[in-house]
A and B are shown apart, each in its own frame.
Chain A
Amino acid sequence: MKVAVLRFPGTNCEFDTQYAFEKLGHSTQLVWHENETLPTDIDLVVVPGGFSYGDYLRSGSIARFSPVMKAVTTYANAGGKVLGICNGFQILTEAGLLPGALKRNNDLHFISKHQNLCVINSDNAFLNQCKNGEVLNIPIAHADGNYYIDDAGFKKLEENGQILLRYSDSKGNPVVVNGSVTSIAGVCNEDKNVFGLMPHPERALEAILGSEDGVRMLKGFEA
């Protein structure tokens, strides 16, 4: 698999993301935000975490106008797979490639810890190696992860199986972490080729470092 990893001023998870996919045996290529095109023959675009443009105005609001994002939109609209992690999720919602928006955490804190997630829908190109109801342990690290969507939008998400992950306890019961609507931690678009989540699967690859559950998540794209 060939993975393009985007890089904006302020991105800081691009090397972790490269490490993760290379560890799984894939080739990766960093793509600077000023590029107007994506590399050819790629299988996946990852918009990694960080603080693009210092989170000025709103997280992701300026990065989404970078030249490379036009290419990403074209790629996604043609069915190409895109994964946004943390700030990448924020950028994809700002770009309108994913529904909803990410607000400041309810308690206003930057939350950085390992967090259980319950898999809500695994019938997609991302979570197909996981089972519905399965609990994964993945680190989170964000200040603006409070997912908001209006009632009509939420209903649509539920009906189309676009809710991918919820923050949960070890048994899979939803827990309030940052104030997200129904504890949502990750969603996808209607066509199920654009995915976004606040947790960091690329930071959960080795059991000795706390969890290797991220491997199963990222491996989904191989299928």
Chain B
Amino acid sequence: MTATVNVFLKEGVLDPQGKAAHHALDSLGFAGVEDVRIGKQIIIKLDTSDKTKAEAEVKEMCETLLANTVIEDYSIEINE
């Protein structure tokens, strides 16, 4: 199984990289960009075929290491 974890700064926590990319898009003439947020995608291969177990395990990985929940939110997607 493969777990795809997306980690982003929380809403309300200023994202300096997103802001810089937003400015760059504006100055390149891309009109209508309302917001840009930059995060991380972490892909984890797991040796289990139990989806519930995989989800619980990856959640624990996120809480422990992959995300800093003081400033970041995460989402998990599990695929066969």
Known contacts A106-B14, A179-B14, A179-B16, A61 near B70 by CB under 8 Å? no
In the assembled complex, A211 has its CB within 8 A of some CB on chain B = no
In the assembled complex, B28 has its CB within 8 A of some CB on chain A = no
In the assembled complex, A70 has its CB within 8 A of some CB on chain B = no
> Are B65 and A65 within 8 A (Cβ)?
yes
- Kindly provide the distance from the CB of B67 to the nearest chain A CB, expressed in whole angstroms: 9
- Kindly provide the distance from the CB of B18 to the nearest chain A CB, expressed in whole angstroms: 11
Query: Does more than half of chain A's interface fall in helix, strand or loop, or is it mixed?
Result: loop
In the assembled complex, B66 has its CB within 8 A of some CB on chain A = yes
Chain B residues positioned under 8 Å from A104 (CB to CB): 16-17
User: Interface residue count for B (Cβ, 8 Å)?
Assistant: 11
> Are B65 and A103 within 8 A (Cβ)?
no
> Are A101 and B65 within 8 A (Cβ)?
no
Chain A residues positioned under 8 Å from B13 (CB to CB): 103, 148
Given contacts A58-B68, A107-B16, A146-B16, 4 further A-B contacts (CB under 8 A): A93-B70, A103-B14, A103-B71, A179-B14
How many A-B pairs with Cβ below 8 Å? 35
In the assembled complex, B9 has its CB within 8 A of some CB on chain A = yes
In the assembled complex, B20 has its CB within 8 A of some CB on chain A = yes
- Kindly provide the distance from the CB of B74 to the nearest chain A CB, expressed in whole angstroms: 12
- Kindly provide the distance from the CB of A204 to the nearest chain B CB, expressed in whole angstroms: 27
Chain A residues positioned under 8 Å from B70 (CB to CB): 93, 100-101, 148-150
Closest chain A residue to B67 by CB distance?
A: A58
Q: Mark A98-139, 1 if CB is under 8 A from B, else 0.
A: 001101111110000000000000000000000000000000
Within 8 A of A (CB), among B1-59: 9, 13-14, 16-17, 20
Chain B residues positioned under 8 Å from A94 (CB to CB): 68
CA A25 to CA B5, docked complex, whole Å = 50
> Are B16 and A101 within 8 A (Cβ)?
no
Closest chain A residue to B13 by CB distance?
A: A148
